[in-house]
Structure 1
Amino acid sequence: MSNTTPKTSTLILSRIVAAILDYGFVIGYAILLFELVGLLFGFDQMGKMEFSPAAGQLIAFSSLTLPVFLYFFMQEKSAKKATIGKRALGLQVAMIKASSNHSRGILIRTVLKLLPWEIAHWGIQWLAFYVKKEAAPPIWVWVVLIVPQVVAFFYFASMLYTKGTLSLYDAIAGTKVVRPGTKV
């Protein structure tokens, strides 16, 4: 058992550091996007912009979620099978069954990975809508904000449970995070 513990701990830690690196790029992109909008419309006007929850969701999806989705999907379906963070830590995404369609598996993996994030955006749009109306948000808004956190917790817990090899979304998508050359 002592022989597998360092490898297991290293894989879990590598996945966490890879995620931090990847989300560092995402945060950098979000900051650049914020700066661009501020320069185009004026930073003083940003807090005054009002959109319906549907319009706000569409703007958030097209300007943030879709580019992030494309980053993960295109990088992980490429020949390198890894995002910049995963490559830096010597990881890649592989199909559990070699005969499975890699692009389809990566598509499912990426959608499931980002779904809680997108649901949370939807909740934030509705929360902002009710706050601006000075009305108490209905309970469903809080549910929409809390459920993604619970799902993200289970994603993380499942990754720990499997010793870093797969999360819940990996299991559903038929994917696994491995070191290159590792037999799946």
Structure 2
Amino acid sequence: MTFASMWRRCSAFLLDYLIISAYLILLVIVGIRLGLGPLKTIFQAMFADPNVSEVSAFLLLVLPVLLYFALSEHSSWQATWGKRKMGLRVTNASGIRLSLPRSLVRSLLKLVPWELTHACLWRIPGWPVAPTTPSLIVTTGLVLVWVLVGANLVSMLVGKKHRTLYDWIVGTYVVVVPRHDRLFASEKRQVEMR
């Protein structure tokens, strides 16, 4: 197995973030429409306090993104759209496709910093309209976010297999798909389309 470099993995994530960004834009448009329309009361209730806001954000934003990663990396592709474009695949130690539970745990651990950010931001008084100075616990949580992100980046840099902390915990690897496998898969798809 050839292990994916940090730069190749980050490039794949940036490509995936294009899809996530399109989804975010769609959520904003729908949110604006709901906030101004007849469902305004329901929309306001969804973001009435920090706990309800966090649950709403998790269900509307984080869960769909988590499922995108988990289901894509569990699929026969073993990769998200961004990873496929970069010629990468997520495997276990034997090079085999991840089980759905393992893929879900990997994606959940990957998104911990993102969810922790949401949990902290919703607890800043006045957020998002007129934020005030956050409490010590919120500031500590936001610092922890950067510690986790930095630890994942450092772990990819120092190890020969370029694994993140969540890869270590779950026992997964991101590998480069051999060129002939990519060509074969492309030809197979073309035949299936005919």
Q: Give the TM-score normalised by the residue count of structure 1.
A: 0.81
8 Å CA contact 2:74, 2:97 repeated in 1: no
2:120 is paired with a residue of what secondary structure? helix
Correspondence 1:41-52 to 2 at 5 A: 41-42=35-36, 49=44, 51-52=48-49
Unaligned runs of 5+ in 2: 180-194
Q: CA RMSD in A?
A: 2.9
Question: Are the counterparts in 1 of residues 125 and 133 from structure 2 also a CA contact under 8 Å?
Answer: no
1:33 aligns with 2:10: no
Does the residue aligned with 1:92 lie in a helix, a strand or coil? strand
3-state DSSP class of the match of 1:51? coil
1:159 is displaced (CA, Å) by: 1.1
Query: Could you tell me which residue of structure 1 aligns to residue 192 of structure 2?
Result: none
Is residue 170 of structure 1 aligned with residue 167 of structure 2? yes
SS in 1 for 2:76: coil
> Which one of 15, 21, 25 corresponds to residue 9 of structure 2?
15
**Helix, strand or coil for the counterpart of 1:55?**
helix
| In 2, Cα distance between equivalents of 1:38 and 1:130 | 17
Q: Cα 1:83–1:99, aligned 2, differ >3 Å: closer, same or farther?
A: closer
Paired residues, number:
172
Percent of aligned pairs with the same amino acid? 32
- Segments of structure 1 that go 5 or more residues without pairing to the other structure are 1-6
* Cα distance in 1 between the residues matched to 2:31 and 2:97: 42
Q: Under a length normalisation based on structure 2, what TM-score does the superposition of the two structures give?
A: 0.77
Q: Aligned equivalents of 1:128 and 1:64: distance in 2?
A: 22
Q: 2: CA distance between counterparts of 1:99 and 1:176?
A: 10
Hey, what's the Cα distance between the residues in 2 that align with 1:164 and 1:114?
21
Distance 1:135 1:21 in 2: 34
Sort the Cα spacing of 1:136 and 1:114 in 2 relative to 1 into closer, same or farther, 3 A: same
Is 2:124 the partner of 1:127? yes
Counterpart residue type for residue 5 of structure 2? L
Give deviations 1:100-131, integer Å, cap 9, x for gaps: 96333222211110011111100000014578
Quote the offset at 1:164 in angstroms.
Answer: 5.8
- Is 2:76–2:97's contact at 8 Å kept on the other side of the alignment? no
Most deviating of 89-98 and 99-108: 99-108
Q: 2:66–2:108: 8 Å Cα contact kept in structure 1?
A: yes
